[in-house]
Amino acid sequence: MELLIQQLVSGVATGGIYACMALSIVMIYQAIHHLNFAQGEMAMFSTFIAWQLLQWGLPYWIVIPLTVAISFSGGIAIERIVIGPLGEAAVLSHAVVFIGLYAVINSLASFIWDFTTRPFPSPFGAGSQFGNLISNQQIGMIAVTLLVLALLYAFFRYTRVGLAMRAAAENPTSARLAGIRVGLMAALGWGMAAAVGSIAGVLIAPIVFLEPNMMLSILLYGFAGAVLGGLSNPAGAVAGGFAVGVIENLAGTYVPVIGSELKLPIALLLIVIVLVFRPTGLFGRTIVQRV
């Protein structure tokens, strides 16, 4: 029983990492309706920027907003320079551009900062809670994720810009007719996704350490969480992220023989099974198709 509770808490803590990532994936999906393979690398690059600023001696409370601002402009720049000119190209062409972007960012980061595994200072201090099961860093990470979620929810629900962004992504043609600048909205979406990603990166780095390949696998977990929860629903995506963390820990602990070797495959299998019964995720909206 004690082990079960420990694994649950630890699953929630690890799930926080995935939830963070899932949130930024949903963010960009809301803006452009594509899955961005380079999302994780963008977050990693932002985290390196934060690390570099900290190295230069700037205090934490300046570094964070500065990093978010740099990432936001970086995201807009990527959209304007790389993605925008592609226009209405096929989904697969977009996918390949994302793969290219992934390669470029990863390569640049390792060229600039090398591969050394670096500790990233935690903004929440050392120490842990609940019988040492969950560190302050993890609690802080979950709290910030929920806060960002609330802000995003309010943004998309109650602000003009948020509504315009949703409209531009859902139906570009009608949105354009309604006077919304669709291209600008997409750029804004990229900027916000990059900003959310940078927060995710800074929150995750103290736990998994900073290095150019740190996001390689987290991206998959984030995708899994986002898809499980429903790509159209940020809250669902966050819940999905936590669920992935918990399922994975339970699979690793309680499935005999192969559990510890196959905890990720088992978790993914469960997600696919869920998707078979709920093809748009647990909290996603079903879209009616017309001929």
Partner 1 sequence: MTIETSIAEQPPTTTTQRAAVAQLQRRPNARQLAIAVVCLGSTIAAPFLVSNFLIFQMTMVLVYTIAILGLNILTGINGQLSLGHGAFYAAGAYTAAILMDRWGIGYFWTLPAAALVCFVVGFLFGLPALRLEGVYLALATFALAVVTPQLFKLSPFENWTAGVTGITLAKPDAPFGLPLDQDQWLYLFTLAMTIAAYVCAHNLIARRGGRALMAIRDNPIAAQSMGVNTALYKSLAFGISALYTGVAGALGAIVLQFVAPDSFTFSLSIALLVGLVVGGVGWLPGALFGGAFVLFVPNLAESVSKGLSGAVYGLVLITLMYVMPSGVGGLLRATRAFASKRYD
Partner 2 sequence: MQNRRFFLKRGIAGLLLSASLALSSPGHAAGKYDPGASDAEIKIGNTNPYSGPASAYSTIAKTFDAYFNKLNEEGGINGRKIKFISYDDGYSPPKSVEQVRKLVESDEVLLVFQPLGTANNIAIRKYMNGKKVPQLFVSSGAATFGDPKQFPWTMGWQPSYESEGIVYARWILEHLPNAKIGVLYQNDDFGKDVLKGLKIGLGDKTSTIVAALPYETSQPTVDSEVIKLKASGADAFINVATPKFAAQAIKKAYEIGWTPTQILSNVSDVVNDVLKPAGLEASTGILSTAYLKDSGDPQWADDPGMKDFYAFMDKYYPAGDKSSKSNAYAYTVAQTLVHVLKQCGDDLTRANVMKQAASMQQVTMPLFLSGMTMTTSETDYYPIKQLQMKKFDGTRWVHFGKVISSEDLQDTHKP
C-beta of 2 vs 88, nearer to partner 1: 88
The answer to whether 20 touches 221, Cβ cutoff 8 Å, is: no
Closer to partner 1 by CB, 18 or 102: give it: 102
Name which of residues 30 to 69 contact partner 1 (CB under 8 A): 33-35
Q: Which two tokens stand for residue 138?
A: 């993890």
Q: If residue 135 lies in a helix (H) or strand (E), which one and from where to where?
A: strand 134-135
Task: Please tell me the total number of residues recorded for the chain in this structure.
Answer: 291
How far is it, in rounded angstroms, from Cα 169 to Cα 164?
A: 9
With CA atoms as reference, report the closest residue to 102 among 120, 68, 78, 84.
78
Q: Which of 18, 102, 242, 283 binds partner 1 (CB under 8 A)?
A: 102
Q: Which is closer to partner 1, CB of 119 or CB of 261?
A: 261
Nearer to partner 1, 162 or 222 (CB): 222
Residue among 121 and 259 whose Cβ is closer to partner 1: 259
Q: Which of 149, 186, 218, 227 binds partner 1 (CB under 8 A)?
A: 227
> Nearest Cα to 105, choosing from 156, 161, 148, 41?
41
Shortest Cβ 208–partner 2 spacing (Å):
5
Q: List the single partner that 276 binds among partner 1, partner 2, none, CB under 5 to 8 Å by kind.
A: partner 1
Using CA atoms, how far apart are residues 124 and 88, in angstroms rounded to an integer?
Answer: 44
Residue 27 vs residues 35, 124, 138, 288: alpha-carbon distances, Å: 10, 25, 22, 23
Report the chain's C-alpha Rg in angstroms. Answer: 19
Give yes or no for residue 139 binding partner 1 (CB under 8 A): no
Binding site for partner 2 (CB under 8 A): 2-3, 6-7, 10-11, 13-14, 17, 107, 110, 114-119, 126, 128, 132-133, 135, 204, 207-209, 211-213, 216-218, 220-221, 248-249, 252-253, 260-261, 263-264
**Which one-letter amino acid corresponds to residue 148?**
V
> Under 8 Å CB-to-CB from 185, ≥6 apart: which residues?
31, 164, 165, 168, 169, 175
Does residue number 21 form part of the binding site for partner 1 (CB under 8 A)? no
Binding mask 253-282 for partner 1 (x = CB under 8 A): ----xx--xx-xx--x--xxx-xxx-xxx-
In the complex, which residues of this chain contact partner 1 (CB under 8 A)?
Answer: 29, 33-35, 82, 85-86, 88-93, 95-97, 99-108, 110-111, 220, 223-224, 227, 231, 257-258, 261-262, 264-265, 268, 271-273, 275-277, 279-281, 287, 289-291
